[in-house]
Amino acid sequence: MFELVIKNGRLITPGGVVSADIGIEGETIAAVGLDLQGHREIDATECYVLPGAVDAHVHLQLPLAGRVSTDTFTTGTIAAACGGTTTVIDFVTPEPAQPLLDALSARRKEADNTVAVDYGLHMTIPTWHAARDERLEDIPAAVAAGCGTFKLYQAYDGMMLDDVSLLRVFRAVAAAGGRVVLHSETGPVLEELRARALAAGHTAPIWHERTRPARLEATAIHRAAELAHVAGCPLYIFHVGCAAAVAEIVAAKARGVAIHAETCPQYLALTADEHLAGLEGELFVCAPPLRSEEDRQQMWRALAQGDVDVVSTDHCPWTRNEKAQSDFTTIPG
């Protein structure tokens, strides 16, 4: 007799869909079989039963440019639970003089006792930490404390790392047994393209995509993959949304690079021409931007073929008023 039995469900397993019962003790699956008995039983006839989803990329109560993303750890994780997601992974961003472990502890205090699901944290290594040996020396302690993934950026002032800094952090993370998770765009060139667009009077949301060419996302991935390979560091590319980026990831895997990648629902469902260029285009600003219909279709093929490994949300919500900015460079996304 089990504490709880989910009966007659269609179980999603690695071998396919099977009709069976699940016996549960505490929070652990104790048995899968037929005609199991429980003190409490849930009839799942005609229902699919599958593990809770893991969303490896969310931004809850994220401070950004004087704003804070609108979902708190409480509201965001309640929403996750309602959608069947039982684990989320958020981020820690240390202040300039803050040791990694202090930042980790502070962020955990924000989340503990407020979350409705399990959670983890990626540790961001900003520009100011990547340049200091004593901060990189904190990385093994962060791994030992349960934070084994480290987010790096190839874009954004204050976050962007050049190739030398990337290599330094890759080596430090590899030596500690961690993994780098990466926002991959060619930041300095994007800033120049954005400035030129504004100077020419282009402020509409579609210019968010036009100043972030897909090939520049792909070339950034190429450079990062080579540096990670040199350092022996496992690499995970965030929010891949274009065919050119997928091609670089496939080529890197073929060269033996330890690289994995995620895409997000927005790149599977939306396009720049239909959404960024349409009414309320500001609501569809995200980074990297939405791409073409051809890119959207390629992302589905990449998932089906195993070229892209994970679907995560990059959930980072803002209000309509916060999105309603006068030019594309100031729209949070």
Q: Residue 213 corresponds to which tokens in the numbers above? A: 């060419």
pLDDT digits (tens, 9 = 90+) for 247-279: 999 999 999 999 999 999 999 999 999 999 988
Domain residue ranges of the chain, discontinuous segments joined by +: 2-49, 53-330
Between the alpha carbon of residue 231 and those of residues 47, 104, 169, 217, the distances in Å are: 47, 25, 9, 21
pLDDT digits (tens, 9 = 90+) for 62-112: 998 888 999 999 999 999 999 999 999 999 999 999 999 999 999 999 999
Question: How many Å apart are CA 45 and CA 20, to the nearest integer?
Answer: 10
The torsion angles phi and psi of 148, rounded to 5 degrees, stand at -105, 5
Q: Which contiguous run of DSSP H or E holds residue 262?
A: strand 259-263
Average pLDDT over residues 15-32: 95
At residue 25, the pLDDT reads: 97
pLDDT digits (tens, 9 = 90+) for 138-167: 999 999 999 999 999 999 999 999 999 999
Average pLDDT over residues 193-212: 98
CB 92 within 8 A of CB 103: yes
Question: How many Å apart are CA 137 and CA 142, to the nearest integer?
Answer: 10
Mean of per-residue pLDDT scores for the chain? 97
Query: Residue 183 above 90 pLDDT?
Result: yes
Residues with Cβ within 8 Å of 61's Cβ and at least 6 positions away in sequence, in order, are: 68, 69, 71, 72, 73, 76, 110
CA angle 316, 72, 323 (to 5 degrees): 40
Average pLDDT over residues 116-129: 97
At residue 65, the pLDDT reads: 80
Between the alpha carbon of residue 213 and those of residues 33, 201, 216, 331, the distances in Å are: 52, 19, 5, 18
For 183-210, b where at least 16 C-beta lie within 10 A, e where not — what string? Answer: bbbbbebbbebbeebeeeeeeebbbbbb
CB 24 within 8 A of CB 61: no
pLDDT category, 27, cuts 50, 70, 90? confident
pLDDT digits (tens, 9 = 90+) for 277-292: 988 999 999 999 999 9
Q: Residue 32 corresponds to which tokens in the numbers above? A: 């899968």
Average pLDDT over residues 288-307: 98
**Maximum CA extent, the chain:** 73
Instruction: Count other Cβ atoms within 10 Å, centred on residue 311.
Output: 17
Topology adopted by domain 2-49: Urease, subunit C; domain 1 (2.30.40)
Quote the percentage of the chain above a pLDDT of 70: 100
Report long-range pairs for 10-16 (Cβ below 8 Å, ≥24 apart).
10/44, 10/46, 10/47, 10/48, 10/49, 11/48, 11/49, 11/50, 12/48, 12/49, 12/50, 12/51
At residue 333, the pLDDT reads: 85
Query: Residue 14 above 90 pLDDT?
Result: no
At the fourth CATH level, which superfamily is domain 53-330? Metal-dependent hydrolases (3.20.20.140)
At residue 121, the pLDDT reads: 99
For 216-261, the three-class secondary structure string (H helix, E strand, C coil) is HHHHHHHHHHHHHHHHCCCEEECCCCCHHHHHHHHHHHHCCCCEEE
Average pLDDT over residues 225-237: 99
Question: How many Å apart are CA 257 and CA 237, to the nearest integer?
Answer: 12
Average pLDDT over residues 18-27: 96
Question: How many Å apart are CA 159 and CA 142, to the nearest integer?
Answer: 19
